[in-house]
């Protein structure tokens, strides 16, 4: 199997490259950064939006590249996620295309309760990220395998765990909503497994998460325990948290610095966000491990 992986210099793409190489596949890695540490996997710097596409033939493309942010210039987010996806597909004609999307394509204005794949995309989104990822899905729908993870974590995480740790203040871990909120999380190892399975799977959309949802309280306490941080979760209700986020966004607009809290983030933590993964289990042969932060001290 000869496979190209985009976004290989990032968290998810790097994990997919290593998993594919461990399986004995020939991997061609592409990313926006000048260099990436992928062991023996050959890496090529390629700007998907402006760069010249590689002249290579592969059996499959696993498209992990994109802008993963809930705050930033909308034009750049759209280019990275929509134009980049179109260019990635065009660069490898005839190859099986696996598109790593996101659960942010589900309706952000109501709880997501064991959502099935046909419940998204929707007509309204809270920010450019959700709208751009939904448009990218529509671009490849019917011609690709689309994977929808939620809240990806694991070794090399540059988003979820760092943001959580920045919320620790004076022995308290500030969180929004309630500790009883149910969430589907996705370990990067489970996602990498799904990406490799998707190369030979039927065209379609698949939710991919850990084996079962967990409560926010369970996840937070395990992270604190593994990181040996002496702190207690302190929950802020959805209403006050949303007002704090709105104020944080106003300040960010004035200062140019990213907000510490966004309304998008509140919407993904204050209410249930769980996904039904039965389709991936049945059609991909997906067998995910349960949510675990074991070893997080070394991530």
Which pLDDT tens digit goes with each residue over 227-244?
Answer: 999 999 999 998 998 999
HSE (CB half, 13 Å, CA atoms) of 5?
Answer: 29
Tokens of 138: 């529509």
Q: Mapping DSSP to helix (H, G, I), strand (E, B) and coil, where does residue 292 land?
A: coil
Residue 198 backbone dihedrals phi, psi, to 5 degrees: -65, -20
Using pLDDT thresholds of 50, 70 and 90, give the confidence band for residue 72.
Answer: confident
Does the pLDDT of residue 278 top 90, yes or no?
yes
Indicate the Cα dihedral angle 126, 151, 276, 19, nearest 10°.
130
Using pLDDT thresholds of 50, 70 and 90, give the confidence band for residue 158.
Answer: confident
- Integer Cα distance of 119 and 225 in angstroms: 36
Q: What is the pLDDT of residue 130?
A: 95
Using pLDDT thresholds of 50, 70 and 90, give the confidence band for residue 165.
Answer: confident
Residue 44: give its domain's CATH number.
3.40.50.720
Q: What is the pLDDT of residue 13?
A: 98
Look at the alpha carbons of 173, 177, 178, 183 in this order and tell me if their dihedral is positive or negative.
negative
Does the pLDDT of residue 258 top 90, yes or no?
no
Range 116-134 average pLDDT: 95
- Integer Cα distance of 137 and 131 in angstroms: 10
- Which residue is associated with the tokens 């450019």? 128
pTM for the whole structure: 0.95
Q: Is residue 132 part of a domain?
A: yes
Q: What is the pLDDT of residue 31?
A: 97
Please state, for a pLDDT cut of 90, what percent of the chain lies above it: 83
Q: Is residue 299 part of a domain?
A: no
Is 156 within 8 Å of 38 (Cβ atoms)? no
Q: Is residue 84 part of a domain?
A: yes
- Integer Cα distance of 287 and 285 in angstroms: 6
- Integer Cα distance of 1 and 5 in angstroms: 13
Q: What is the pLDDT of residues 185-220, one digit of tens each?
A: 999 999 999 999 999 999 999 999 999 999 999 999
Is 85 within 8 Å of 143 (Cβ atoms)? no
Q: What is the pLDDT of residues 27-66, one digit of tens each?
A: 999 999 999 999 999 999 999 999 999 999 999 999 999 9
Q: What is the pLDDT of residue 37?
A: 92
Q: What is the pLDDT of residue 12?
A: 97
66 burial class (0-12, 13-18, 19+ CB within 10 angstroms)? Answer: buried
Q: What is the pLDDT of residue 15?
A: 97
Q: What is the pLDDT of residue 166?
A: 86
Q: Is residue 15 part of a domain?
A: yes
For residue 29, list its beta bridge partners: 5, 43
Domain containing 265: what range?
Answer: 2-294
Does the pLDDT of residue 150 top 90, yes or no?
yes
Q: Is residue 78 part of a domain?
A: yes
Q: How many domains does the chain have?
A: 1
Residue 55 backbone dihedrals phi, psi, to 5 degrees: -100, 80
Q: Prior bond to 18 cis, omega within 30?
A: no
């Amino acid at each position: 199997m000869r496979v190209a992986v985009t976004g290989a210099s990032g968290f998810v793409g790097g994990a997919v490259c290593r998993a594919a190489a461990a399986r004995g596949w020939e991997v061609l890695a592409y990313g926006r950064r000048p260099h990436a540490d992928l062991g023996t996997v050959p890496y090529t710097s390629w700007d998907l939006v402006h760069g010249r596409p590689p002249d290579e033939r592969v059996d499959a493309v696993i498209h992990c590249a994109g802008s993963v942010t809930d705050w930033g210039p909308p034009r750049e987010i759209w280019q990275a996620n929509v134009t980049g996806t179109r260019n990635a597909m065009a660069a490898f004609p005839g190859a099986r295309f696996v598109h790593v999307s996101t659960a942010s394509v589900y309706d952000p204005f109501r709880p997501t309760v064991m959502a099935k794949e046909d419940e998204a995309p929707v007509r309204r989104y809270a920010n450019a990220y959700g709208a751009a990822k939904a448009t990218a899905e529509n671009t490849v729908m019917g011609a690709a395998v689309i994977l929808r993870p939620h809240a990806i974590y694991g070794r090399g995480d540059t988003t979820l765990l760092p943001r959580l740790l920045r919320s620790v203040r004076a022995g308290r871990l500030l969180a929004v909503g309630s500790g009883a909120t149910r969430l589907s999380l996705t370990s990067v190892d489970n996602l990498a497994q799904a990406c490799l399975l998707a190369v030979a799977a039927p065209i379609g959309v698949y939710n991919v998460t850990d084996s079962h949802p967990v409560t926010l309280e369970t996840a937070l306490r395990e992270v604190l325990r593994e990181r040996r941080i002496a702190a207690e979760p302190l929950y802020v209700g959805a209403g006050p948290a949303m007002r704090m986020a709105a104020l944080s966004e106003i300040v960010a607009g004035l200062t140019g610095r990213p907000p510490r809290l966004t309304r998008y983030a509140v919407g993904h933590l204050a209410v249930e966000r769980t996904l039904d993964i039965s389709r991936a289990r049945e059609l991909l042969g997906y067998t995910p491990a349960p949510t675990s932060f074991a070893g997080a001290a070394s991530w």
